[in-house]
Amino acid sequence: MWSSPNSIKETAARFKKFYKSMMNHDKFKKDDYKCLCDTIKDEMKSWQESCDYYDSGKPNWDPFKF
């Protein structure tokens, strides 16, 4: 298995930590960091559900179907 719902959450936390450090060193704008955090917060459940569904092995899974 390449990914799991938990690994998606862990990876998002690493992204936030990295970009917060970049922001603190004036290499990433505060507004962009807020946008990143908001996107992660808003999309996390969807990403985890998609991953869980894909990992379940259900046929005809289309990651681009909304």
22-64, pLDDT tens digit by residue?
A: 999 999 999 999 999 999 999 999 999 988 888 877 656 666 7
Cα separation, 46 vs 62, whole angstroms = 14
Q: Give the Cα separation of 22 and 7 in Å (integer).
A: 22
Mean per-residue pLDDT for 9-28?
Answer: 97
DSSP notation for the chain: ----HHHHHHHHHHHHHHHHHHHHTTSS-HHHHHHHHHHHHHHHHHHHHHHHHHHTT-TT--TT--
